[in-house]
């Protein structure tokens, strides 16, 4: 029944999706946290930069950003991400760069909403014992904020998993690209669609359940 799968590396394509998701998740978590720190900092200029970044990037379609990394950054500006001779690796790295730029704005907003859940008294107490801004942020506020944003961050991660399919637009051989090839060449459109749909359900559903459970367990009870 599933003999149409022969000759196609479905697992390899999904492995590519997982790699894209994992690398982009780590990158956007770091960049997004930095952006969030800027957005809550006492320096007005940094706050302005953070706000502008989030509002601009959030409103550009991810597809535009991904296509731009390939046609703009790579073709015009010669940004090869250290893989000038290998188009597959270059496409992969450019896609990860694009996902980080885009997803970081959502990570930033999630963390900022988490910082807002920390009661004012916590920070007042921190200042009362003589901690400065970065100590208050690092030792008191962020640890509590992170625990309360596991749920929202899980949503960002799930959306990122689904968004990695956009990398197909610049020829990265991940799941959506393989599905496009397969349904064009094989007769069993419905069965192929079901296989790939199942693959994404397998990737996203456990993530949502696991992180949802974690969010409940780790939430700061107030």
Distance CA 9, CA 124 (A): 57
If one asks whether residue 166 binds other proteins (CB under 8 A), the answer comes out as yes
Least distance to other proteins from the beta carbon of 86, Å?
23
If one asks whether residue 180 binds other proteins (CB under 8 A), the answer comes out as yes
If one asks whether residue 136 binds other proteins (CB under 8 A), the answer comes out as yes
Question: Which residues 14-33 are close enough to bind other proteins by CB under 8 A?
Answer: none
Least distance to other proteins from the beta carbon of 9, Å?
17
Tell me the torsion sign for CA atoms 156, 158, 160, 162: negative
Enumerate residues 6+ apart whose C-beta is below 8 A from 65.
Answer: 57, 98, 101, 102
Question: Which residues 80-109 are close enough to bind other proteins by CB under 8 A?
Answer: 106, 109
Distance CA 200, CA 143 (A): 31
Q: Report the residue number, 62 or 96, with the smaller CB distance to other proteins.
A: 62
Q: Which of 24, 28, 90, 163 binds other proteins (CB under 8 A)?
A: 163
Q: Which of 13, 95, 153, 173 binds other proteins (CB under 8 A)?
A: 153
Distance CA 89, CA 81 (A): 9
Least distance to other proteins from the beta carbon of 35, Å?
13
Q: Which of 45, 82, 85, 221 binds other proteins (CB under 8 A)?
A: 45
Asked whether the beta carbons of 40 and 115 are under 8 A apart, the reply is yes
DSSP class of residue 220?
P
């Amino acid at each position: 029944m599933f003999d149409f799968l022969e000759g196609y590396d479905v697992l390899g394509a999904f492995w590519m999706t997982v790699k894209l998701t994992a690398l982009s998740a780590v990158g956007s978590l770091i960049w997004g946290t930095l952006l969030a720190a800027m957005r809550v900092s006492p320096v007005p200029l940094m706050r302005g930069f953070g706000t502008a970044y989030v509002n601009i990037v959030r409103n550009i379609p991810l597809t535009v950003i991904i296509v731009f990394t390939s046609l703009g950054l790579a073709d015009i500006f010669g940004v090869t991400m250290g893989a000038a001779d290998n188009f597959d690796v270059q496409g992969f790295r450019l896609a990860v760069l694009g996902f980080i730029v885009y997803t970081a704005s959502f990570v930033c907003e999630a963390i900022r909403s988490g910082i807002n859940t920390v009661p004012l008294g916590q920070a007042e107490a921190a200042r009362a014992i003589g901690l400065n801004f970065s100590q208050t942020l690092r030792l008191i506020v962020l640890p509590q904020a992170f625990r309360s944003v596991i749920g929202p961050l899980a949503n960002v991660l799930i959306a990122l998993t689904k968004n990695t399919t956009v990398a197909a637009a610049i020829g990265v051989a991940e799941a959506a690209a393989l599905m496009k090839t397969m349904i064009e060449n094989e007769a069993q459109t419905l069965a192929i669609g079901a296989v790939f749909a199942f693959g994404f359900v397998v990737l996203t559903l456990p993530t949502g359940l696991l992180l949802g459970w974690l969010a409940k367990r780790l939430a700061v009870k107030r």
